[in-house]
Amino acid sequence: MTDLDTVLTLLQNKLRRQILERLVREPHYPMQLAEILDVSQQAIVKHLKELERGNFVMKMKVPSEKGGPPRTIYSVQQSISLRIDLGPDLFSCEQRTLPAGGPMRLSNRLPKGVENVVNTISGRKKISVGEGLTHIQQVNEVLEELDRKRDALISLHQHIRSRVSAAVESDFDHYEQRSVVHNLLDAPRTRFDLNAMAQEFQLGKAEMDTLLKVVKQRLERQLGERAGHIVASTSDRDFRYWLGDL
């Protein structure tokens, strides 16, 4: 799978996005794309090569309709989803690979509301345009409902982070301390890469140990204040404990 940075670099170009919009519909020749998009064939070929290097498209040789030498056509190869959330106390940039398999294989992952679509199209290689429009409209309505719920959850997540950020700002004096806490909040189920963090802060092992000790102590104090009593624990307790994940 193409890495996220490469995906963002490739998609930032408008012409490449226009090329992909055409290729997802059906394979195209470079000359076709040049005529449709009103740019030179040389420019189209250049961008197709970039997309091919990024594993977005693949090329194949097909017989010429006029009996000449084989011609090269391009089609889309990857199926991915990009999600970007940005705002105060909010940043997430994520690439996800869409699941493989036919409708029946996907059925146990799908939400309610599309069961009849799965049952209707399973085992069929072709459906009419009219039937397809009906199914697409139904799936789009379910997607829109899921998006509305996701938007609300992301907004709630943002409100939580905003309130936590206020506490972090008041309780942690130094930038490095606040960064440790924010790294915890960004990925609460993922363990720190302490070496990378020490390199980022330009701290030696002793300094890094002191930093982590101070952050632990202040998280312990926050938890005790929230609980209304002194909280006792061993000194090697995992960081996630101090975040209140009891």
The domain ranges of the chain are 4-76, 172-242
Q: How many CB atoms lie within 10 A of CB 28?
A: 20
Q: What is the dihedral of CA 59, 65, 70, 71, to 10 degrees?
A: -40
Residue range 189-223, pLDDT digits in tens: 777 788 888 889 999 989 988 998 889 888 888 77
Cα 155 to Cα 65, 95, 160, 168: the distances in Å are 54, 20, 9, 20
**Which residue in 183, 184, 245, 172 sits closest to 215, CA to CA?**
172
Q: Indicate the helix (H) or strand (E) that contains 84.
A: strand 80-87
Q: What is the pLDDT of residue 185?
A: 87
| 105 vs 227, more confident | 105
Checking if the pLDDT of 243 tops 80, the result is: no
Percent of the chain whose predicted confidence (pLDDT) is above 90 = 57
Q: Which CATH entry fits the domain spanning 4-76: 3.90.1170.50, 1.10.10.10, 1.20.1630.10, 3.30.2000.20?
A: 1.10.10.10
Q: What is the pLDDT of residue 242?
A: 43
Q: How confident is the model at residue 2 (pLDDT cuts 50, 70, 90)?
A: confident
Q: Quote the distance between the C-alpha of residue 161 and its chain's center.
A: 20
Instruction: Specify the DSSP class assigned to residue 235.
Output: T
Q: How confident is the model at residue 236 (pLDDT cuts 50, 70, 90)?
A: low
The token pair at 223 is 């938890």
Q: What is the pLDDT of residue 30?
A: 96
Checking if the pLDDT of 235 tops 60, the result is: no
* DSSP3 helix / strand / coil % (the chain, rounded to 5): 60, 10, 30
Percent of the chain whose predicted confidence (pLDDT) is above 70 = 91
**Please, what is the angle between helix 129-171 and helix 205-227, to 10°?**
100
Residue range 78-127, pLDDT digits in tens: 899 999 999 999 999 999 999 988 899 998 899 988 999 999 998 888 99
